[in-house]
Each structure stands twice: as C-alpha cells, then as structure tokens.
A and B are shown apart, each in its own frame.
Chain A
Amino acid sequence: MKRLLLILLLATAAHADSGLIRLSETASPWQVTVMTDPTPIREGLVDISVLIQDAKSDAAVLDAAVMLKLKHAQSGLTVSTEATRQQAVNRLLYAAKFIVPAAGEWTVETHIEHGDDAQVIAWSFTAANPLPPLAVIWPWLLPAVLAIAVYAANQRLRQSRGAAQRDQPNEH
C-alpha cells in the first residue's frame, strides 16, 4: 500500500493518453490500435489507451466495453482494469490509468465487446524499473535553485552598481 502511494505521488510522468503506438491490427469487425504512455513503460503509473474503429469505414466505435487484463510473467501477478472514454483526454479513445506494480514482462489481454461482437487481442510489454524519485521531481525543485541564482546575480549587480556610483567623481 505504501509503495503504491509513493508511486501515485510520483505519477506525473504518465500524464495523458495516446503516446507510443504498440499495435494496430484488424480484429474483425474492428481495427484496433493500442497506445501506451510513458515510453518506456516503467513500474508505476501507466496509461494504456485503445482506439476502436470500424474496419470498413474507419469510423470510431464509441460505445464499446474495453477491459484490460494484465499478467506478470515472473510472479503470475494479475491486474484487471476497465478502459473508458471518460478517463481519456482524447475522447475517441478508451483509456485506463493504473499502476503496474512490478518491473518485468507483462502480457496484456484487451477484451472488447460491442453489441454481439467480442474480441480479445493479446500483446505484451516490458516494464522497466522505476526512476529514482529525484529524476522525476527535479523540474519542481529547479525553480528554487534558479530563484536563488537570480537573487545572487541581482545582489551582485546592485553591489557593482553601488560601487560604480561611489567611484564617480562628485561634480558638485
């Protein structure tokens, strides 16, 4: 639980759907495209989004049910989550934002249901080890460093300006 909370806190890297196109294939009657973010996928928060199109007309299918079932090859750990359009920034996609709890090989089954049609598309990915916290948060610490540097430069300029004014001969 604690580990998951920490990962959640450091989750800003996976910020939106789409990302890298993992696969785009025909699974009759649909053309299914799966995208993942971040690249590379790491242990922690991951965004998987799915675009479902009618294979004949290319029209986006907007009222399907999409489930993602993930299995960790090394430990057998499983994760199931629903991908919905509400979770997606691009509302043509079905997105799921969830925690990948371990690094290593993961197989994914993407279950799609729409009316009487159903398909399961299998694919896999490798999750790398998570980045150290500092590698994720440094952009948010940088403003302090910059502000102090700017303040130091400001003081130096004021000092040299003051010295220059003192050095000027008094005309009166």
Chain B
Amino acid sequence: MSDVTRAILSSWTIDPWPLVLAVVSIAIYWRGWRGLSRTQPKRFGRWRLTAFIAGVFACWVAIASPLDAFGGLLLQVHMTQHVLLMMIGPPLLLLSYPGIPLLRGLPRTARREWLGPFLAAPTVRRWFHFITHPIFGLSLFIVATWLWHVPVMYELGLRSSFWHEVEHGIFLGTALLFWWPVIQPWPSTPTWPRWMLIPYLLVADVQNTVFSAIFVFINTPIYGTYAASPALFSIDALDDQATAGAIMWVVGSSTFLLPVGLIIRRLLTPNLVPVPTPASGKTPVDISLTVLGDSSSRRPAHGRSDLLRMPILGPALGSLRFRRAVQWVMLGIAAAIVLDGFLGPQMSPMNLAGILPWTHWRGFVVIALLVAGNAFCWTCPFMIPRELGKRLFNPTRRWPRAIRSKWLAASLLLVYLWAYEVFSLWDSPWWTAWVVLGYFAAAFLVDAFFRGAAFCRWVCPIGQFHFIESMASPREVAIRDADVCKSCTTHDCIRGGPGGRGCELDLYLPSKQGNLDCTWCMDCVRACPHDNVGVLTRNMTDDVVFGGWRGALGQIGSRVDLAALATLLTFGAFANALGMVGPVLDFEDGFAASLGLASSLIPASLVLIVVTCLLPLIVLPVVAWIAMRVSAMDIGLRNLSCRLAFALVPIGFSMWVVHMLFHFFTSLGTIVPVTQRVVIDLGGNAGDPAWILACCLNVPDWLLPLELLLLDLGLVLSVVAIHQVTRTVTQRRTAAAAVILSIPAVALLILGVWIVLQPMQMRGTILP
C-alpha cells in the first residue's frame, strides 16, 4: 500500500457524539428487534436488523470516514457523502421497519409515560400523517436538494462546521420523509395507491437528472472553493464537478428506478406479495401501538432490568465472598495510600495519597452512581474494621436515641467540606493519610460499641454522600414481586435467616423505596429465601419525589435532618466547585488582603458557609412560601421546603459528577508515573516514571459538552421532580407553582455553567 493510500484510509473524523448516537440507536433497535423477531419472525427476520445496522453505518461513514476529510477538497467526494445520506442510508433505515423496534427497545417508562401520550395524541398523529404524505416528502426532498446546492448555501456549509452539520441533518431528514411512502415501513399504511409511486419516483428521477446534468455539462466551476482548490490527484475543478454530477446521476437514477421496477413487477404479479392498500377516509392511519399501556407510579418488577440477573456481574454482586475479596483489595489500596501519604513525597500529584482518593476513586464512584447506584458502599474498605469491632466486642448497645438522626452526619460532612477547602486536603498527602486512618479508627470504635450499622447510618460522611446522591441513580435494591412478600412469614430480609444476616440498617424490603440508607451490601439478597430481591431499574426521579412512609426512615417528606443533609450536599457541590475556580480564588485572596489577613482561611470559610448553609436556608423557604401563596397547597411550609430540598438533589448530583469527572479525565494518566515511582521506591524496576502523563495534558474537546449535558440532565430531573412534587400537594395552578419552585434549580444550573466556563485548578496534575 502506498503512503498516499495509507494517508487517505487513515483520515477518519472520530467525533465521539455521532459514534455514541450510532451505537446507542443500534443497541435500542436490537433490544426491540430481539423481542419482535421471536413473536413475528417473518416480519422481523435477521435481515431487518442488518438493514438497520447498515443504514446507521452508511450515515456514520458519510460523516466520519475519509469522505468527510476530503469533501472540502473534492466535490465528487462531497457528493458521495450526500448520496450516502440521501439515497443509501435512509432507505436502509426504513427497510428495517425502525418505528416499533426502536419504541420497544426503550425502557418501559420511556415508551409508556414519556412517548406514549405523544404517540396517542390525535394532533401528533395528524401532523405525522401530514409530513409522511408523498407530496410533502417529494417537495421537501427536491427543495432541500436544490437549495443546499445553490452556491451561497453550499459555500456556507463548506466554511462553517455548524451549517455543514445542519445541511447533513436536513438531507437525512428530508430523505427519510421522501423514502417513507416508497418503503412504507410497518405498521404504517399507504396514503396513495401503490401505482402512484411510479410517477412519484419518476419525478424525483427527472429532477435528479436535470440537477446532475448541470454539474456534468456546465463549463465553469459552480463553487468558488473547489475552483480555488489544488488539483488533488491531478483532478482539475471541472473534471471533479463533472464526476460529482455523474455520481449523482448514476446512483440517484439507480436508486429511484430500482423501486419503480419492483413496484411494476409487484403490480403485474398481484399474487406475488400482497400490495398494501391505502387507508380510507381523511383521518390519520390508526396505528395500533402495542407498546403503549397504563402507567403507574409503583411499577412491577417484571420488565425492569435486574443487575443480579445479568451473567457474571449478577452472581459477583450477590456473592459475599467476592465482596469481601474486593473490600480486602480496597483495604490494601487504602494501606498503600496511608503509607505513601506518610512516607512518600509530599507533592500531591506524585503521591498515591494525592491522586487515588481525590481523583481516581471519586471519579469512579460518581460514574457508578450515574450508571447504577451506590457501588462505593459495596466496595467500602471501612467495612473490615467495622466487622472486626463487632467480632471482638459483640456490641449490644443501641445508638443513643438523642442523636438518632442525620444531624451528626450532616455536621461532620460540613466539617469535612470546610477542612477540604481551607486546609487543601487534596494537596496534602500527609493529611490525607491521617483522614484515612481516622476513618478506620472511627469505623472500628463506633461499631465496637453499638450494634447494627451505626457507623454507616449515623456517622459516615462519605456514606451520607452516597445515600443522598444515589437517590438520583437509575437502580435500587428492591423486591421483585410484592405478592411473594405478602405471603412471606419469616421476613429474613430484615431478621436474618439461614441465608445470612438481615439488613443492618433496618430497611424492611416490602416498605423500602429508593436508595436512602441502603449500602447495597446485598445482605437482604442473600437472606431472602424466595430469591425475591433484585437490583432493579427505576425512574431517576422516583426517590426524590416520594415523600411518604419508608419504614425505618419514617415520613421522609417531613424529615428536616434528611432534607438538611440533602441541601448541604446539593449546595455543597457548587461551593466545592467554586472553591477551585479562578475568579472565586482571586476574590478570596483579595478579600483576605483587604482585611490584612495572611491566609484566605476566613474568606474561604465564609464562601462555604454562605453557599452551603445561609443561601439554602433563605432561598428554599422563601421560594416555597411564594409557591404556597400562588397555589393553595395542602402542605406546610416546612414540609414543602423539605420536599424541594430532595427535588434539588439531581442538579446537585450533576454538579458533583461534572466536577469529579473534570479532575478524573484531566488527571487520569497520573496513576502511571506515581505507581512507577512507588515501585522504584520499594526497590523494584518500573522504568523511568512517565511524568509527562501527570502534566501538560490538554483538556479533551468533548469534556465541556459532556459537562454541559450532565448539568442539563440534572436540571431536567430536578424540574420534573419539582413538578411531580407540586402535583401531589396542590391541584390549583400547578404549573405556576412548579415554575416558582424551579427557580433555585435554574439558578443552580446557571451557576454550574458559569463554573465550568471558568479556569479550574488542575488538581492531581503537575503544572508545567
């Protein structure tokens, strides 16, 4: 292979977003197709799946392959790109009958509760009927083709990546509408008789012929860009233009005339395949969508994905031995952190204590919270000293009633956030080692004195973080079938039994909802003799909306201590991120200087207290009071403020994820040289530490868009939760009340966007 050929073949534009979209859409289609191919094997044969994958692949190749890289230099390559987007990809996609498989591939809640009302709405059906009408599709296809090839528009696409993407989107969209009546994907029914598609396709072919002929026969270059382009591969601009026209002509005519031939053949041999007949009357075709159904807030377990039913992962997650093994590994890592923190170099990016807990571990746990749930507590190494304390002292005392709330944990969390900020714990391996040691000692002492999981439930600040943030996670430990629990007489899930001990946190599975106070220890899974506990998917807003009775947790909507904890973590997410952006650090330094202070300890403390305590203490009740004035609510001010605090958890969680992932992705490589350094310090041979991996890496292009999308997700979940809470407490002016209650969520989003646009301290890296 020549160097030039190799260079051409390696010219791929691997943009992560189209790739993610392609993979996700194929996964959704496959999920839906799998079920349909069992119930309707003739209609949904394997070739439908192949057609969908080929269609997606054709579209992806058009925008990611060397076609895209060379499209700006050669018109014929650019035209090939358009052919793929208009004449190859869309027919393949429609041949796969994508509608129902894509719907069925979505989670049940998404298709029933989110899409269901739209699919069933007469207005939407009428509108869909209108846009898939052949006259509309043909007109739009022709207008889009000609309009985007007018020199001014075409040059706009060549010069601006944004308009280029718009152009491609319009080509793909209009082509899907054009090919719709030709393919007529199931379960739609045709508007026109089949023979009418012959003139339909011939009109498209005639316009394509005229269009192509202009490119082939005109004697001057149509587009200035290609006229000025170098003669790549010795192809001059006119030859290039003529070839582009020929490609459109040949491929276009072939794709238009092939279905004409097939339609004629089918019409002439009516017994060959039944010809679909047009729907009668003017009303839209009534598509019976079996995917629609009733919605209910408490969904049955069937249809919900269960992590414990998955191969390999499920048995591993439910296995006590495997969990213990992981905890011992984590304990080993914690020991390494402590030793390196005390004995290693006191420069955080060069020390295990400076990077592992603050960069890598926090990154992994927020990813786990986002995609599953509270994985940290499952792997928690502090469980080992806890168990040791219990075995040595066999405690019988109950946690004192006076402090049987989250106030102690919330106070410890506030102290932790404050110490983190003002003492820069992340930048001190020595302090980090002490914190880890102190944690082990506290876990041992508390559980040596008190029975149950007293440390986890009432003390552990990290555990509280995971309890609260996992309220917005997509999975929960829950019962699979409520009827099984009704007939259960032993209640081993809480009392314990032959299968193992029951829940240490007093969570009784039949009344448990959500992830609050659940350590994902899986004790209940092993204890249940009916194998009726799973790790199930749920709506990400269920937990923050439900304010009712939750067994040991009580009436959650009126638990001020829990609401305070949730608020502290939500506003703490923003305070913590503010503490490392340039303008805030400058403000703190300037404030300290104006007061004649040697350090910014007081200003930093003030920022933290104002943002995490004072601000929510004023804003939440005020907003709740205004909402109550607008809408007559069947709830007190205190309870509404509590419910609002829970509903804001998703936006706070999104800020934690954004913040942690920023450090994770900008400092990921640091682990390599630090591990090399540790091995060398221990007398081993690991080569020269690759410190370049700990410094000077660019922030990836995709990180800011990802951060903004995560903040979007947090806002949407919070707004939805606020609306659902509002609906449960008032019937009057619900929308107005929800808008007022959403103001803090929107304000937090704006603050979050401002934060991610600021220069952030590159913690965990060595600055050049």
Contacts and interface: CB of A to CB of B under 8 A. Distances in A.
B11 A90 contact: yes
Nearest to B236: A58
B159 A151 contact: no
A20 B719 contact: no
B4 A147 contact: no
Interface stretch (A68-76, A103-111, A119-127, A136-144): A136-144
B69 A58 contact: no
Nearest to B114: A154
Contacts of B234: 57-58
A12 B716 contact: no
Contact of A60 (B4, B68, B705, B749): B4
A10 B704 contact: yes
Contact of B757 (A6, A57, A155): A6
A4 B118 CA distance: 46
Given A91-B8, A92-B4, A133 B757 contact: yes
13 contacts: A6-B757, A6-B758, A8-B698, A16-B13, A19-B159, A21-B229, A53-B230, A58-B232, A90-B11, A90-B66, A91-B8, A144-B713, A154-B114
Give the 8 A-B residue pairs with the shortest CB-CB distance, closest first: A144-B712, A140-B708, A5-B759, A91-B7, A157-B117, A90-B69, A2-B759, A39-B159
Contact of A16 (B6, B160, B161, B711): B161
Interface residues of A, number: 55
Instruction: State the main secondary structure of chain B at its contact with A.
Output: helix
A42 interface: no
Contacts of B297: none
B337 to A, nearest CB: 29
Given A24-B229, A37-B161, A154-B118, A137 B73 contact: no
A158 B117 contact: yes
B121 A1 contact: no
B70 interface: yes
Residue from B113, B117, B120, B735 having most chain A Cβ neighbours under 10 A: B117
Contacts of A153: 118
B483 interface: no
Given A2-B759, A89-B13, A20 B159 contact: yes
Contacts of B719: 148, 151
B759 A90 contact: no
A86 to B, nearest CB: 10
Interface in A6-63: 6, 8-13, 15-21, 24, 31, 33, 35, 37-39, 51, 53, 57-60, 62
B3 A62 contact: yes
A140 B709 contact: yes
B464 to A, nearest CB: 28
Contacts of A114: none
Given A8-B698, A37-B161, A141 B118 contact: no
Contact of A89 (B69, B720, B723, B749): B69
B701 A33 contact: no
A62 B114 contact: no
Nearest to A6: B759
Interface in B199-253: 225, 228-234
A130 to B, nearest CB: 12
B229 A33 contact: yes
Given A92-B8, A144-B749, 7 more contacts: A9-B699, A17-B69, A53-B231, A58-B231, A92-B4, A140-B709, A157-B121
A30 B534 CA distance: 69
Interface in A82-134: 85, 88-92, 133
B10 interface: yes
Contacts of A58: 230-234
A166 to B, nearest CB: 14
Contact of B705 (A12, A24, A33, A88): A12
A140 B7 contact: no
Interface string B159-178: 11100000000000000000
Interface in B259-295: none
A65 to B, nearest CB: 16
A38 B230 contact: no
B156 to A, nearest CB: 10
Contacts of B4: 59-60, 62, 92
Interface of B: 3-4, 6-8, 10-13, 15, 66, 68-70, 72-73, 113-114, 117-118, 120-121, 158-161, 225, 228-234, 582, 698-699, 701, 704-705, 708-709, 711-713, 715-716, 719-720, 723, 735, 749, 753, 756-760
B607 to A, nearest CB: 19
B15 to A, nearest CB: 8
A141 B720 contact: no
Residue from A6, A17, A152, A157 having most chain B Cβ neighbours under 10 A: A157
Nearest to B72: A18
Nearest to A59: B4
Contacts of B117: 154, 157-158, 161
Contacts of A10: 704, 757
Contact of A140 (B10, B160, B712): B712
Contact of A148 (B66, B69, B113, B716): B716
A12 B118 contact: no
Contacts of A21: 225, 228-229
A15 B161 contact: yes
A148 B701 CA distance: 27
Contacts of B712: 140-141, 143-144, 147
A18 B364 CA distance: 38
Nearest to A52: B230
Given A89-B13, A140-B712, A153-B118, A31 B230 contact: yes
Contacts of B66: 90
Contact of B230 (A51, A57, A151): A51
A60 B12 CA distance: 18
A88 B72 CA distance: 14
Contacts of A12: 701, 704-705
Given A89-B69, A92-B4, A161 B120 contact: yes
B757 A144 contact: no
A144 B719 CA distance: 10
A35 B69 CA distance: 13
Contacts of A33: 229-230
B757 A9 contact: yes
A153 to B, nearest CB: 7
B768 to A, nearest CB: 10
A32 B568 CA distance: 60
B713 to A, nearest CB: 8
B704 A137 contact: yes
Residue from A8, A19, A21 having most chain B Cβ neighbours under 10 A: A21
Contacts of B760: 5
A154 B160 CA distance: 35
Nearest to B6: A91
A151 B115 CA distance: 10
A141 to B, nearest CB: 6
A13 B161 contact: yes
B756 to A, nearest CB: 8
B715 A144 contact: yes
B699 A8 contact: yes
Contacts of A158: 117
Contact of A91 (B10, B229, B711, B749): B10
Contact of A155 (B12, B70, B709, B723): B723
A89 B230 contact: no
Contacts of A2: 582, 759
Contacts of A17: 69
A63 to B, nearest CB: 8
Residue from B4, B8, B70, B712 having most chain A Cβ neighbours under 10 A: B712
Contact of B759 (A1, A11, A60, A141): A1
Contacts of B713: 144
Residue from A10, A38, A133, A140 having most chain B Cβ neighbours under 10 A: A140
Given A8-B698, A62-B3, A18 B230 contact: no
Contacts of A155: 723
A144 B716 CA distance: 6
